[in-house]
Chain A
Amino acid sequence: MLSRTADHLFWIARYMERAETAARLLDVGARISLLPSAGAGFRSEWDSILQASGTAEGFARKYDDPVQRNIESYLFFDRDNPSSIASCITAARENGRIVRTALTSQVWDALNTAFQELRGLERLPRSQLEMSRLTDWTMRHTAMVRGAIDATQLRNDGYDFLNLGYLLERADSTARLMDVKYYVLLPQVDYVGTGLDTYQWSTLLRAMSAHRAFHWAYGGELTAAKIVHFLVLNRQCPRALLTAIAGVSDHLERLAVFYGSANATQTRAQAMVDELQALSIDAVFDEGLHNFLTRFIADVADLGGLIHECYLSGDVR
């Protein structure tokens, strides 16, 4: 397949997953803000959302206060924010339009419907739009695109590039969502184990649609160790870091078989899987959750760069 086509497919998936992450972040923010503020740490819970999504700088350039309404606008509608849901869905659809020939009509339909409805939402007055409705809307459409891909796309290399986009972005986004917790609490170690702490952790689980799943898998009380285990190492959890990276590795292996030759990407992905599998939760906390996540996010970015170099750039010889 054309390298450029593979690149567009990869980015359709990344943008859709990124839109979903933005919606999940908005959900986390809305729930956390319903509780009395932890006081210290970052200025507010909402600020932590911006920090975690990497959009704090762009936001500060445009708005003074991280008040809920501004943040909601910035994360959902703002075209100046390249990670806003509107920007992501538009970019995903534009990438899709460019490679229409590599998508089934159902996938295109799902992408295009999301875009057309988005334009409808943008025309409505903001006062008519509740944030919960918008995040539900986003997750519904990202799920429809995802479902159309799974149900209809040919299982060829294009399918692998779509999945690589999804899984890399997901690994990145789970790590970032977990990092929100760090930003909210830092540096109040006193809160660990308090009701507030538990509430925040459970909100995180909710945002990943994993609240019930967690209870099925672990039962009993929410503890930081259990939750981190669930979100980092438990391959039953679809958003766990290990699940995502193992998925990346699987799809790279499929490509190596399909093309009859492997390259540096397979080795690197396998190394990341091995490292995670050998990891214990104690080791994560010893390193410090935030440090671990920062390192992980950098590794994911490196792997993404390598995939670009080896498959998507068109400079392969």
Chain B
Amino acid sequence: MFHADQVRPPYARLADWTQQMPDELRCLKQAEAEAFFRRIGITFAVYGEGGDPDRLIPFDMFPRVFTQAEWRKLERGVKQRARALNAFLVDIYGRGEIVRAGKIPAALVYRNAAYEKAAAGIVPPRGVYSHIVGIDIVRTGPDTFYVLEDNCRTPSGVSYMLENREIMMRLFPGLFRENRIEPIDSYSTLLRRTLASVAPEKCTSSDPVVVLLTPGHFNSAYYEHSFLADLMGIELVEGADLFVEGPFVWMRTTEGPKKVDVIYRRLDDAFIDPLCFRPDSMLGVPGLMDVYRSGGVAIASAPGAGVADDKAVYTYVPGMIRFYLGEEPVLQNVPTWQCAKSDDLRYVLDNLAELVVKEVHGSGGYGMLVGPKASRDQLASFAERLRADPGKYIAQPTLALSTTPTFVDQGIAPRHVDLRPFCLVGERIELVPGGLTRVALTEGSLVVNSSQGGGVKDTWVLAE
């Protein structure tokens, strides 16, 4: 918000807004927001933590603001990355030109745990593997954005993007009159259009049947699944609601079986088809992969998409952009050391206290080390784990992340934030002007994951 101690212009009106807001009103509005979230049931269960299954993700009322110029750059960068990642996926499940050209090590691709041999040779409809690409971005300066990681499988959090806007418009309608904020509510229409646009060859209907496949109501993101299905007007199905017969997938309805054309699955590859992947999975649909392979159904994201968001493959994304698109990357990668490489590992071990170390296949902020925040003992024990299995880890410098004003007990204070825009890839590439801003609510903390006590904010893109 501040630059050289001056309030940056996009935040100017917000500065007045907060100054004019007495503490009592702020508490009142905060309570109202919480009651709203609890009533609509947008809660978040953290795996393995027990406690309140209806825990709310803390919502911070202070919005995060982008100017139109800043957003245009982000938009270009995000769409560019989404295109390159999809081109990469089609390539590596096809001829593998990028590997032949020596731009990425063959082992990293073909021996990757997320590489699905079952998908080899498949070109999904419109050549799209990852239909919803969530790209986590941080900002370190006025014009410097870094991509922290890509999410090509089933990025979550978009319900928060939409609901945070909803609650802000409800709590502070005045703000929306005074500031010209780009709307984001076309997201669900665009998502449905994107999914319908990738209907498989064998679908002859002009209105394909799209369903959202959820692991079930015990899943921590179940709210989001049902919320999205509702906004799109599509059925929310569990594995047991679907079955394969002949060349198609069907859902069980009160009127008998109904053919399904596109499955937006919020389930990992390993669980979607017990005949093809994990035989013990109760969540999937036996025989689904056969139907998919023969063009009877489309799956979004396509099985195998996960290899593109692997944290070790991440390093090669700028190379992909140059290789497939012939363009220079608009958004930078964070410099990354691959602990699998002995030189990199040595550097990481020598500089552990300054680095952030993550598991290649980890997510949710679990199993990571933030060097500057770690105790001596933690550093030592982490170094041991690194030496034992270096291929499991990558390391990055601790970035001077940007902060956004955030309401805390003592008033307003700067807190670190990141941003996850959701890029839609189908017949066209679409990005609504906004995203999910996550905020590390603990002073000085850099970890924004909701499973680690992070909160969320509304994200504004100002119209010209």
Contacts and interface: CB of A to CB of B under 8 A. Distances in A.
Interface of A: 1-6, 94, 97-101, 105, 108-109, 112-113, 116, 157, 161, 255, 259, 311-312, 314-317
B254 A317 contact: no
Contacts of A314: 240-241, 252-253
For the complex of A and B, 8 pairs with smallest distance between CB atoms: A314-B252, A101-B230, A100-B226, A98-B217, A311-B254, A3-B252, A316-B256, A6-B254
A97 B222 CA distance: 9
Interface stretch (B33-41, B91-99, B367-375): B33-41
Contacts of A101: 226, 229-230, 235-236
6 contacts: A2-B235, A2-B241, A3-B252, A97-B217, A101-B235, A101-B236
A79 to B, nearest CB: 15
Nearest to B257: A317
Interface residues of B, number: 24
B254 A316 contact: yes
A116 B43 CA distance: 13
Given A97-B217, A98-B217, A105-B40, A1 B229 contact: no
Contacts of A259: 254-255
Q: Which of A4, A6, A105 has the most CB of B within 10 A?
A: A4
Contact of A94 (B217, B223, B226): B217
A312 B254 contact: yes
Contacts of B241: 2-4, 314
Interface in B243-260: 251-257
Q: Which of B223, B226, B254 has the most CB of A within 10 A?
A: B254
A108 B40 CA distance: 8
B41 A3 contact: no
Interface in B24-48: 38-41
Nearest to A160: B254
Contacts of A98: 217, 226
Given A316-B253, A316-B254, A317-B257, 14 more contacts: A2-B235, A2-B252, A3-B252, A97-B217, A98-B226, A100-B223, A108-B40, A108-B41, A116-B38, A116-B39, A255-B254, A311-B254, A314-B252, A314-B253
A97 B253 CA distance: 19
B261 interface: no
Interface string B213-227: 000010000110011
B136 interface: no
A4 B226 contact: no
Nearest to A317: B256
Contact of A1 (B230, B238, B254): B254
Contacts, number: 69
A4 B252 contact: yes
A312 B222 CA distance: 22
B162 interface: no
Interface SS majority for chain B? mixed
Contact of B39 (A99, A109, A157, A315): A109
Nearest to A96: B41
A108 B236 CA distance: 17
A112 B43 CA distance: 12
B227 A100 contact: yes
B302 interface: no
Interface of B: 38-41, 217, 222-223, 226-227, 229-230, 235-238, 240-241, 251-257
Contact of A4 (B38, B39, B229, B240): B240
Given A314-B252, A316-B252, A4 B238 contact: yes
A5 B223 CA distance: 16
Contact of B41 (A1, A100, A157): A100
Contacts of A113: 39
A30 to B, nearest CB: 32
Contacts of A6: 254
B116 to A, nearest CB: 28
Contacts of A4: 238, 240-241, 252
Nearest to B230: A101
A3 B236 contact: no
Nearest to A1: B254
A111 to B, nearest CB: 9
Contact of A112 (B39, B229, B236): B39
Contacts of A157: 254
A199 B230 CA distance: 51
Given A94-B217, A100-B230, A3 B38 contact: no
Nearest to A111: B41
B35 to A, nearest CB: 9
A100 B226 CA distance: 6
A3 B226 contact: no
A312 B241 CA distance: 11
Contacts of B229: 101
A101 B40 CA distance: 12
A1 B217 contact: no
Contacts of B223: 100
Nearest to B232: A101
Nearest to A94: B217
Nearest to B237: A2
Q: Which of A100, A311, A315, A317 has the most CB of B within 10 A?
A: A100
A6 B255 CA distance: 11
Contacts of A105: 40
Contacts of A112: 38-39, 41
A55 B257 CA distance: 39
Contacts of B40: 105, 108-109
Contacts of B222: 97
A3 to B, nearest CB: 5
Q: Which of B230, B238, B253, B257 has the most CB of A within 10 A?
A: B253
A98 B229 CA distance: 12
Contacts of A94: 217
Contacts of B255: 259, 316
Nearest to A157: B254
Q: Which of B238, B240, B251, B255 has the most CB of A within 10 A?
A: B255
Contacts of B257: 317
Contacts of A116: 38-39
A97 B251 contact: no
Contacts of A1: 235, 253-254
